[in-house]
Chain A
Amino acid sequence: MAVSWIAGLRACAVVAGAALLLSGCGGAKVGEDTGAQASGDGGGKSACGTFNLAVNPWVGYEANAAVIAHVAEKELGCNVVKKDLKEEVAWQGFATGEVDAIVENWGHEDLKKKYIDEQKVAVAVGPTGNKGVIGWFVPPWMAEKYPDITDWKNLNKYADLFKTSESGGKGQLLDGDPSFVTNDEALVKNLKLDFKVVYAGSEAALITAFRQAEKQKTPLIGYFYDPQWFMSEVKLVKVDLPEWTEGCDADAAKVACDYPVYDLDKIVSKKFADSGSPAYELVKNFNWTNDDQNVVSKYISEDGMTAEQAAEKWVADNPDKIKAWLPAAAG
């Protein structure tokens, strides 16, 4: 047994020798050339601290978040922690103190009621400047071929076109991402349309369906929304439903009107709002247009940039807009 141990030791020695030889020509050492960068990171603006930014899973949101994160890091010296979360979990994060801000909120009156009004752990801090449009859309080739299809009154005329294996003999209305509350079943019923709502189940499913419909020139009508990066690839055409008026959608079962235009807004945690963090000021001041967001979204979705690269590029191109968002002291 002793012999074998000696053999083992000898083996170790051989390998160690080889290692020494290797390290002689080992190249750059870890930490050698990073000293300067490390000291630059902590520099001076540590007042911001950590900023927990929720990132909801769609590209437009990511554009908002990337730009805000970029500015917070570079201008305010914040340590931004991005958390990839679905909306409900993100809101829940206000209560557990794990999320400081949501920077593109689509409605969600029930969540607002729970977390802002009841639990008082969150506050709304104004619009992002983006307008959210929800509704029924058809691919452009259909709008061209059947110009009157964009009026809901003509939908029944075309119901046969939209029949699929899923719709049980009626026209198929492809509903979408389960994240959004839809009134579509009620709408179909109340507008007496010969359609059946079929749940695609995910944004990916919706986009793929529209993409294929345009490419293969197959008929499709479905639920969609804008701003959305896909709109810059295929400009879907909205079908006009009876116009939205205040209160027409109060009773979910009796809805017979279009969706309202959403002013997308920003929500922060109460704690974050009270912290006096410069990042809070940034979030509060953040405001841009649909076009701005679409540019950044396009960088991400079509040009294959990472969110960080896209934000950096846009920020470099729009220094004035950034200046307006910065807290007075930092500016």
Chain B
Amino acid sequence: MAAVPTTATAATGAAAPGRAGWLRGRYLTVIVLAAWVALWALLRGRDTLALGGAELTPLHTRLSEGMDAIDAGRNSNPLFLYFINYIRLFIDESVTFVQALISRPSFGRPVPVIGWLGVTGIATAVALLYGNRRTALLTAAGFASFGLLGLWEESMDTLALTLTAVVLALAVGIPLGVWAGLSDRVNRFLTPVLDFMQTMPTFVYLAPLTLFFLIGPASGTVATMIYATPPVIRITAHGIREIPVSTLEASTSLGSTRAQALRKVRLPLAKRTIIVGANQTIMAALSMVTIAALIDAPGLGKTVLKALQTLDVGTAFNAGLAIVIMAIVLDRVTSAAGRRVEAERRSGRARGTRARRIEAGLVLAATAVLVYLSHVYVWAAEFPGGAGLGSYVKQGAGAASQWAQDTLVTYTDALKNLITYGLLNPFQSLLAGSPWWLVALVVVALALLLAGARAAIVAGVSLVLLVLLGLWHDSMVTLATTLVATLIVMVLGVVAGVWMGRSARVDQVLRPVLDAGQTMPAFVYLVPILGLFGATRFTAIIAAVAFAAPVSIKLVAEAVRGVSPTAVEAATAGGSSTWQLIAKVQLPMARAGITLAASQGLIYVLSMVVIGGLVGAGALGYDVVAGFSQYQLRGKGLAAGLAIVVLGIMLDRIMRAAAQRAAARPAPH
């Protein structure tokens, strides 16, 4: 895809970067950096393009006016009147229908059609039939815990909205993914669009969305879909693309049409990958629960937000725990389903064996009975007993948060100061305190040296866009915070990832913790970390690291585990110590995975910029939050959102090109 045209390669002479060329590149990099520091010392504070919190540029005003114009045209434009209106109706009806089934009193009944017992039964049956016994047990326990935490109805609301959003996202995403998998052109077109959808902060389009889809479930669903559809599109496209050529050739040689090849070869072979995509989409959808609650989407997110108003950490944690449990259950069930597809394929166990039919029959019958009971009897419809577990969780979490804030604050304050004064402030001062043109020159030069001409062009264009958006200074402050956070993420990622990749036991212990870090809404732990680190950029970094490190750690662990056992064996036989083994074999051989971990970590950190804005990071994150909250700042909020997208795309492209280049070069010793 990213094939460099041969002429360009020949022209830059980068076709075979030998050791000498590499060294020269390294010297040049050092020279560029030294020149930057020297010029910064001379020119600091000049041309920094700083813009005050409430100040606007003409572009921001125009963006506001543009948003107004769309608003004004809403009632006369046939697109809105028919198209969007019907989509909204459809989505609303879908969510309401699922809610009527499982979460809301409906059809003249004081309770939903299916009570807790029935829903738990159905979920367990699905886990059993598509996954395995262990996941079924986990599912049953998970659903029961929603009741025990005292959050049955809220959990079901969240489940209803998430499921609807996921089903729609898959209905849109899988065909698009297949298309992108088949056509390079479509893929090239979709990639930046998906980048945009994933990095544009939700806060930016949340309010305008309610103009089109109105307040309530439809807007919440659409917002969730915008964020959650890209993974399934990307992963499906990847799955369709990676089908072995020989299999496809065999099918073609027998005279199959494109449609036949798709239906009979590509789709069945890509099934497992597509399930992985669906899994990612579910996870992404769940991470939107709290944000969607800002526009009245029902469910656990509301509980979290309400609790945040009174800084009630216990209640917020309780609801956050329910979200984590739901995420873990859905993740394990879809992963097990994916593995089952693979296992059935490998073992050749046909779907229709006798034992399997009996099992399915039993399970379905038992489920039907549970559903019937929960429809008819009160004890099976409404979760019996109070929220015993819930109140313990609330008290425990509240007390723990209080204790931490009271006793740890001296140490955490010292840590905050160390990182802020030692790393963040100097770096920020270099980025945001230099004249904008100097930073732009340095970045373009570094991109050219480390990643090649293409990346340098992307960087140049991106930087000019940041200037045009009127948010140069804020972008640089955000960039500094982002890079420091990514650095911490990578340090954690490599340390914990190697540990996890080398030991199955560590993996077993760490994995649920990482899952929790990834799916626990940041709003839940904002209060304790604010108490510990104050309203500072460092708090924002902590929040970003909590969210991004799990992904990087998992990817590094995966890469370390993927190192060929033969190489490890050979090194061990040669008498390497553990450290030598890690440093000289496992890490270098896992380089591709570590690069991926870095770029994913960066994207995840960027997606927390707005949350950072809520806890004192200021800059772009605050601009977005303020734009969401203040009418006259909405244009600036949109511009800040765009700036985040630009930063994301720029960093991603530079990192990827640099990694490619590094991979093409013989490893330095």
CB-CB < 8 A to A87: which residues of B?
629
Nearest opposing residue in chain B for A200, CB measure: B535
Nearest opposing residue in chain A for B361, CB measure: A8
B409 proximal to A (CB < 8 A): yes
CB-CB < 8 A to A11: which residues of B?
358, 361-362, 365
Chain A 24-39, CB within 8 Å of chain B: the 1/0 string?
Answer: 0011111110100110
Assess the B215–A83 pair: CB atoms within 8 A.
yes
Assess the B534–A164 pair: CB atoms within 8 A.
yes
Assess the B531–A16 pair: CB atoms within 8 A.
no
Assess the A98–B214 pair: CB atoms within 8 A.
yes
A93-B381 contact in complex given A5-B357, A31-B110, C-beta closer than 8 Å: no
CB-CB < 8 A to A201: which residues of B?
535, 612-618, 621-622, 625
A202 proximal to B (CB < 8 A): yes
B295 proximal to A (CB < 8 A): yes
Assess the B360–A26 pair: CB atoms within 8 A.
no
Assess the A15–B311 pair: CB atoms within 8 A.
no
Which of B309, B312, B377, B629 makes the CB contact (< 8 A) with A28? B377
A198-B616 contact in complex given A27-B378, A57-B305, A92-B210, C-beta closer than 8 Å: yes
CB-CB < 8 A to A110: which residues of B?
631-632
Binds B, one of A179-187, A265-273, A313-321: A179-187
Binds B, one of A122-130, A211-219, A282-290: A211-219
CB-CB < 8 A to A111: which residues of B?
631
Chain B 345-361, CB within 8 Å of chain A: the 1/0 string?
Answer: 00000001110011011
Cα(A129)–Cα(B180), bound, Å? 60
Q: How near does chain B come to A209, taking the closest CB pair, in angstroms?
A: 5
CB-CB < 8 A to B537: which residues of A?
166
Q: How near does chain A come to B410, taking the closest CB pair, in angstroms?
A: 9
Q: Which residues, 1 to 45 on A, are CB-close (under 8 Å) to B?
A: 1, 3-5, 7-9, 11-12, 14-16, 18-19, 22-23, 26-32, 34, 37-38
B111 proximal to A (CB < 8 A): yes
Cα(A304)–Cα(B310), bound, Å? 9
Assess the B526–A85 pair: CB atoms within 8 A.
no
B372 proximal to A (CB < 8 A): yes
Nearest opposing residue in chain B for A28, CB measure: B378
B603 proximal to A (CB < 8 A): no
Assess the A175–B305 pair: CB atoms within 8 A.
no
Nearest opposing residue in chain A for B538, CB measure: A165
Give the B interface residue count (CB, 8 A): 83
Cα(A300)–Cα(B614), bound, Å? 23
A324 proximal to B (CB < 8 A): no
Q: How near does chain A come to B636, taking the closest CB pair, in angstroms?
A: 11
Nearest opposing residue in chain B for A306, CB measure: B306
Cα(A8)–Cα(B626), bound, Å? 61
Which of A59, A114, A197, A304 makes the CB contact (< 8 A) with B631? A114
Which of A5, A18, A211 makes the CB contact (< 8 A) with B369? A18
Cα(A12)–Cα(B531), bound, Å? 57
Nearest opposing residue in chain A for B406, CB measure: A215
B256 proximal to A (CB < 8 A): no
A229-B215 contact in complex given A114-B631, A178-B630, A209-B530, C-beta closer than 8 Å: no
CB-CB < 8 A to A164: which residues of B?
534, 536
Counting chain A residues whose Cβ lies within 8 A of the other chain, the interface size class is 35 or more
CB-CB < 8 A to A300: which residues of B?
310
Assess the A86–B629 pair: CB atoms within 8 A.
yes
Binds A, one of B148-156, B263-271, B417-425: B417-425
Which of B109, B366, B614 makes the CB contact (< 8 A) with A15? B366
A191 proximal to B (CB < 8 A): no
Which of A4, A85, A174, A182 makes the CB contact (< 8 A) with B357? A4
Which of A9, A166, A200, A207 makes the CB contact (< 8 A) with B361? A9
Which of A37, A58, A96 makes the CB contact (< 8 A) with B309? A58
Assess the A206–B293 pair: CB atoms within 8 A.
no
CB-CB < 8 A to A85: which residues of B?
215, 294-296
Nearest opposing residue in chain A for B619, CB measure: A199
CB-CB < 8 A to A3: which residues of B?
354
B94 proximal to A (CB < 8 A): no
Q: Which residues, 513 to 560 on B, are CB-close (under 8 Å) to A?
A: 526-527, 530-531, 534-538
Cα(A83)–Cα(B618), bound, Å? 29
A165-B207 contact in complex given A22-B373, A205-B535, A212-B409, C-beta closer than 8 Å: no
Q: How near does chain B come to A56, taking the closest CB pair, in angstroms?
A: 10
B510 proximal to A (CB < 8 A): no
Assess the B311–A207 pair: CB atoms within 8 A.
yes
Which of B54, B210, B628 makes the CB contact (< 8 A) with A182? B54
Which of A15, A57, A165, A205 makes the CB contact (< 8 A) with B526? A205
Nearest opposing residue in chain A for B364, CB measure: A12
Assess the A7–B358 pair: CB atoms within 8 A.
yes
Q: Which residues, 198 to 236 on A, are CB-close (under 8 Å) to B?
A: 198-209, 211-212, 215-216, 229
Cα(A209)–Cα(B361), bound, Å? 59
A84 proximal to B (CB < 8 A): yes
Which of A1, A9, A185 makes the CB contact (< 8 A) with B52? A185
B194 proximal to A (CB < 8 A): no
Which of A14, A30, A182, A207 makes the CB contact (< 8 A) with B378? A30
A323 proximal to B (CB < 8 A): no
Cα(A9)–Cα(B364), bound, Å? 11
CB-CB < 8 A to A32: which residues of B?
378
A7-B361 contact in complex given A96-B215, A166-B616, A202-B625, C-beta closer than 8 Å: yes
Assess the B377–A12 pair: CB atoms within 8 A.
no
Assess the B616–A200 pair: CB atoms within 8 A.
yes
CB-CB < 8 A to B207: which residues of A?
86, 88-89, 92
Assess the A209–B534 pair: CB atoms within 8 A.
yes
Q: How near does chain B come to A88, taking the closest CB pair, in angstroms?
A: 5
Kindly list the 6 A-B residue pairs having the minimum CB-CB distance in the complex, ordered from nearest: A8-B361, A19-B369, A200-B535, A178-B626, A301-B310, A15-B365
Q: Residues on A close to B: CB < 8 A?
A: 1, 3-5, 7-9, 11-12, 14-16, 18-19, 22-23, 26-32, 34, 37-38, 57-59, 62, 83-89, 91-93, 95-96, 98-99, 108, 110-111, 114, 164-166, 174-175, 177-183, 185-186, 197-209, 211-212, 215-216, 229, 252, 300-301, 304
Q: List 22 A-B contacts (CB under 8 A).
A: A4-B354, A7-B358, A9-B361, A11-B362, A16-B369, A22-B373, A30-B111, A38-B108, A57-B305, A88-B629, A89-B294, A98-B215, A181-B632, A185-B54, A200-B535, A204-B311, A204-B526, A204-B614, A208-B531, A212-B405, A216-B409, A252-B54
Beyond known contacts A164-B534, A165-B417, A204-B614: 4 more, CB 8 A cutoff:
A88-B628, A96-B211, A209-B534, A252-B54
